[in-house]
Structure 1
Amino acid sequence: MKRLGTALHVVQNKLIVQSEEIVGRGAGIPRGSSWVVDQKRTRVGKVFDIFGPVNRPYIIVLPNKGMDAAAHIGKKLYIDEAPGRDRKWKK
């Protein structure tokens, strides 16, 4: 699990997350459609779009159906980096 950032707002049922500061080449911006999870590894949704400054971008997360996006405001969110997990969901 890699820390994504802190959830700030809900706009049109999408969660706006301010990412952690990106320093150096090793740290990167998450890929689109990456799974976003909370601290308990419960899937919150997927990365929908990325915008804003390069060193600390904002990330739009499209929540899963039935997920209350407002419940995650102010909480830390993470990118699930489990190997091979993205491949089986791309179909």
Structure 2
Amino acid sequence: MKRVGNVVRTAQGLAIARADADGAGEAADIGDVVVDESLSTVGRVVDVFGPVERPYVAVTPNDGVELASLVGQQLYAR
């Protein structure tokens, strides 16, 4: 699994995660399945944008996932 980053905000129905400052791991790819710390599926990566060293990752949530509850959580890509 790849570490996607921490969810910093929600925007337009997406969860926006910021990659870790230490640059650990490789960046998530568009289409990757995203899970939370309990390995529950959260959604899919739909965009990677921003600086190469520490990009933002946009995740579209699955049905039934409450976006507000994701803020502050660490996400991972399978």
TM-score, normalization by structure 1: 0.77
Amino acid paired to 2:32: S
Larger fraction in strand: 2
Match for residue 63 of structure 2 among 31, 47, 65: 65
Q: Secondary structure, in 3 states, of the residue corresponding to 2:28?
A: coil
Alignment correspondent of 1:5: 5
Sequence identity percentage: 36
Is 1:15 aligned to residue 15 of structure 2?
Answer: yes
Consecutive unaligned residues in structure 2, runs of 5 or more: none
Q: Which runs of 4+ in 1 moved over 6 A?
A: none
Alignment correspondent of 1:46: 44
Give the CA deviation at 1:2. Answer: 2.4
How do residues 30-45 of structure 1 correspond to structure 2 at under 5 angstroms?
A: 30-45=28-43
How do residues 20-31 of structure 1 correspond to structure 2 at under 5 angstroms?
A: 20-21=20-21, 22=23, 27-31=25-29
TM-score, normalization by structure 2: 0.89
Larger fraction in helix: 1
Consecutive unaligned residues in structure 1, runs of 5 or more: 81-91
Amino acid paired to 1:6: N
Amino acid paired to 1:33: G
For 1:71 and 1:17, locate their aligned partners in 2 and report how far apart those are by CA, in whole Å. 13
Aligned residues between the structures: 77
Please give the root-mean-square deviation of Cα atoms over the aligned residues, in Å: 1.3
Q: Bigger radius of gyration, 1 or 2?
A: 1
For 1:72 and 1:44, locate their aligned partners in 2 and report how far apart those are by CA, in whole Å. 9
